[in-house]
Structures are given as structure tokens and as C-alpha cells.
């Protein structure tokens, strides 16, 4: 990576972080404390702390920019329950963010960067990208207005008749799951690539839509105990869940809370803000199942010839015509949109629009080695967690790939997450 490219990437990541929160003053940034959220000021300072840790302390052994930075913004030093009580101010946080970015840019050598510097620059930007989606999600969770992001390319729109929810038969076979250890632009949980033997399967061409999930809701899906696992039913009763998060029924019609607005529920959009238990119950009702991670990645990246692509459509990076990413339009688009982004097997929206739950417990790949510099993901491995694939409409294009993994607790409903289903084996 050239130093100019690295500098542009770091500036772009920071620009998006600041844009997301720019319209909120000090008082509005002091939001209601929720266990699933980070305080906005902590999110902002944390991405700068990771940038300092990677690019100043680790790469150049620079002294601390701010003596209190580690105690304030290091995730390990400031556990989630403590972050809401930290003495953070908007002005001081913004000042720290700018100081770190300025020093990081000044420290970049001219010309092509060494491999380690290139990797750390990407990690710093990618980590900030990850938190920018979390910040947009925070605004949705709290019912704040949409962030005022600059206008970019229009999001893709639906094309004519709705895409039929058909099954695509995937032949299976030997498949290389994950990213290679040498891949600089991939997170540690995506590595190392390893071979899996996959049986033939049939997967839905599109994610499950609001219209499809509405049938489940109106058929009593949330009241029928036989559709839920013991653990899922316990969650449903504890939360008194009767429909997806942010759905509302008024005057015989269904609506959806989108940030601080209530809008009609659009049946051709993918269902979003459902957790793994809800996806599991829907599958039982529909007599289907969730895909495994390997099945999902083969459908997204595999080809009938047995090769593997970096993206569903090929090797070139995402464009607005191929994938709905980067918070364009600030919400999902119809499943009929972006036909140019189909995989070799004709599966649509495998990148962007909505994260998709997969079946098995979250686990490290064989030979997994954690990056020593960013948050340790081991706490998200195990039966309590599942892996989501594909990214959402709020995911930055820089980190969106078919190998990307998001590890999340099964009960999380705040994520921009939905799912697609597979046919049961006869």
C-alpha cells in the first residue's frame, strides 16, 4: 500500500465517524445507558485510541498522546459497565481524535509502506469502519434522527417484478473456507483458510423478506411453543416478543420504526432486526433451516467450476450497482435490487443490505491466531454466539468481503441482521 493511499483511508474512516455524530451537541451525546450500547463519546475516543495503539505506539514506539487515553478508551481497561460513568467531554474527545490522526499521518513514510505498516494502517481504518456501523446502529436503537451523511451515489432500487424466492441448488464439494493467512485486508477471525467438504444443498436466492416473515407472525409464530427451542422460547417469554423489533401494528396495518420515524412496513425489503432465535423459529415454521457458514460462503463466493471469488460477482471491489453498502439511503433496499451483484450461483445480496445469521456456534478456524492489537474475539466464541455473514447497508465497502465474519450473541436484535434459508434434506 502506498502512503498516500493509507493516508486517504485513515482520513476517510475518521470523516465517517465524525459525520455520524456531528449533529449532536454535548447534551444529546449523553444518551440513555443500555448494556448493548457504548456511549457515543466512548465510541469516538475508542477508535482514536486503537489508531494510536497501532500506528503510534506499536509501529513507532511513540509516547502516549494523552496520559489518560488508555484508562478511558481501551476496551480492556474500561469494561462496558464502566464506560457510562467515565468523565468524557465532546471537546476533549474531538481534540484527542484530531491529535492522534495528525500524528499518525505525519508518521507515515513516503512511498510504498512496509508490509507491517500497511497491515496496521488497514486494521486501524477497518476497526473504525466497524465502529461506524455500530454508531449508526446506536442511533437506530435510541430512536435518534438519521445521521446527516453527505449525499453519495443513490442506493440501488428494485427492478420490475419482485425476485422470486426460489432455491438455488449448490453442488457441494471441496471448498476453501475463509481468508488466507497472508491476506492483509482481512480480520483474524476470517483466517486461516482451510478446506471443507460440503454436501450438495439448496439455498434461497434472496434473504427472507418482511412479507415472508409477516406470514410467520400472522400465523401465530411467536405464540406457538412447538416452533421454538427451549432456549429460544425462554428468551421470547422473557422479552415478551410478539414480532420483530421496531415493528408496530396500527389500525390494522404494520409499520416499522426507522430511527425517529414510523414508516409503513415494506414487504419487499429483507426482514431486519431479528435475532438467531427468531430466525430459528421461522425456519421450523417454514420447514427449512439456516445455512452453515461453509454453505453460505460457497453460495456467495464459489463457482460451478469449483473456483472461489473475492466477491460474489468477481474480483473487483464493491460498487453501488453490485452491493448496497456504506449507509447509502440509510436503510435496506428491496431484494430485487442490485442484480449485477449476484453470485456465480445467482444468489443475490450476499454482500450488503442485511447481515445473515448462520447455523453453528461461533468457533475459531483451525490454526486461528488472534491479532495482538485489536479487541480479542475469543469471548465471542462458543454456544452462546453465532456468526453473521455478508454485511449490511451500513457496512463500509472497505471491509465487505465474502469471508467477513461477525460474531454475535444469539439474542441480539439491535444488529442490522436478517437471514436466508436452506431446504431441508429429504
pLDDT tens per residue across all 426 residues of the chain: 999 999 999 999 999 999 999 999 888 888 888 888 999 999 999 999 999 999 999 989 999 999 899 999 998 888 888 999 999 999 999 999 999 999 999 999 999 999 999 999 999 999 999 999 999 999 999 999 999 998 877 777 766 566 677 999 999 999 999 999 999 899 999 999 999 999 999 999 999 999 999 999 999 999 999 999 999 999 999 999 999 999 999 999 999 999 999 999 999 999 999 999 999 999 999 999 999 999 999 999 999 999 999 999 999 999 999 999 999 999 999 999 999 999 999 999 999 999 999 999 999 999 999 886 666 655 689 999 999 999 999 999 999 999 999 999 999 999 999 999 999 985
C-alpha cell at 280: 430459528
- Residue 233 burial (CB < 10 Å; 0-12/13-18/19+)? middle
Contacts of 377 (CB under 8 A, 6+ apart): 188, 189, 370, 407
Is the peptide bond between 192 and the residue preceding it cis, with omega within 30 degrees of 0?
yes
Domain positions in the chain are 3-142, 151-426
Q: Degrees (nearest 5) of the Cα angle 270, 272, 277?
A: 115
Residues 6+ apart with CB under 8 A from 321: 156, 338, 340, 341
Cβ contact 309:402 at 8 Å: yes
- State the fold for domain 3-142: 1.20.120
Q: What is the CATH number of domain 151-426?
A: 3.90.1580.10
**Residue 186: all three cell numbers together:** 482481512
Amino acid at each position: 500500500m502506498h502512503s498516500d493511499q493509507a493516508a486517504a483511508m485513515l482520513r476517510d474512516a475518521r470523516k465517517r465517524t465524525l459525520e455520524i455524530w456531528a449533529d449532536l451537541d454535548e447534551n444529546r451525546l449523553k444518551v440513555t445507558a443500555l448494556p448493548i450500547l457504548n456511549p457515543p463519546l466512548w465510541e469516538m475516543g475508542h477508535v482514536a485510541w486503537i489508531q494510536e495503539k497501532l500506528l503510534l505506539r506499536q509501529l513507532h514506539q511513540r509516547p502516549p498522546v494523552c496520559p489518560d487515553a488508555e484508562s478511558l478508551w481501551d476496551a480492556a481497561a474500561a469494561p462496558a459497565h464502566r464506560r457510562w460513568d467515565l468523565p468524557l467531554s465532546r471537546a476533549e474527545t474531538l481534540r484527542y481524535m484530531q491529535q492522534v490522526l495528525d500524528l499518525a499521518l505525519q508518521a507515515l513514510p513516503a512511498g510504498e509502506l512496509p508490509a507491517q505498516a500497511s497491515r496496521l494502517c488497514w486494521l486501524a481504518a477497518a476497526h473504525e469502519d466497524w465502529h461506524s456501523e455500530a454508531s449508526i446502529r446506536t442511533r437506530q436503537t435510541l430512536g435518534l434522527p438519521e445521521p446527516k451523511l453527505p449525499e453519495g451515489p443513490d442506493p440501488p432500487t428494485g427492478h420490475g417484478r419482485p425476485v422470486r424466492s426460489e432455491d438455488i441448488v449448490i453442488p457441494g464439494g471441496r471448498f476453501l473456507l475463509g481468508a488466507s493467512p497472508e491476506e492483509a485486508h482481512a480480520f483474524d477471525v476470517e483466517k486461516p483458510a482451510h478446506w471443507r467438504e460440503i454436501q450438495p444443498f439448496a439455498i434461497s436466492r434472496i434473504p427472507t423478506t418482511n412479507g415472508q416473515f409477516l406470514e410467520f407472525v400472522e400465523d401465530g409464530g411467536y405464540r406457538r411453543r412447538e416452533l421454538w427451542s427451549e432456549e429460544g422460547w425462554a428468551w421470547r417469554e422473557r422479552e415478551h416478543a410478539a414480532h420483530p423489533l421496531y415493528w408496530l401494528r396500527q389500525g390494522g396495518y404494520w409499520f416499522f420504526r426507522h430511527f425517529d420515524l414510523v414508516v409503513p412496513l415494506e414487504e419487499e425489503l429483507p426482514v431486519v432486526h431479528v435475532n438467531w432465535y427468531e430466525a430459528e423459529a421461522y425456519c421450523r415454521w417454514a420447514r427449512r433451516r439456516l445455512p452453515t457458514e461453509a454453505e453460505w460462503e460457497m453460495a456467495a463466493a464459489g463457482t460451478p467450476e469449483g473456483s472461489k471469488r473475492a466477491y460474489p460477482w468477481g474480483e473487483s471491489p464493491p460498487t453501488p450497482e453490485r452491493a448496497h453498502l456504506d449507509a447509502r439511503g440509510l436503510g435496506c433496499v428491496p431484494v430485487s435490487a442490485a442484480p449485477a451483484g449476484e453470485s456465480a450461483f445467482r444468489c443475490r445480496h450476499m454482500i450488503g443490505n442485511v447481515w445473515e445469521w448462520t447455523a453453528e456456534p461461533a468457533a475459531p478456524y483451525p490454526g486461528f491466531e488472534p491479532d495482538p492489537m485489536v479487541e480479542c474475539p475469543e469471548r465471542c466464541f462458543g454456544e452462546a454466539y453465532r456468526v453473521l455473514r455478508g454485511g449490511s447497508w451500513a457496512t463500509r465497502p472497505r471491509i465487505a468481503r465474502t469471508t467477513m465474519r461477525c460474531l454475535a450473541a444469539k439474542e441480539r436484535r439491535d444488529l442490522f441482521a436478517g437471514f436466508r434459508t436452506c431446504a431441508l434434506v429429504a
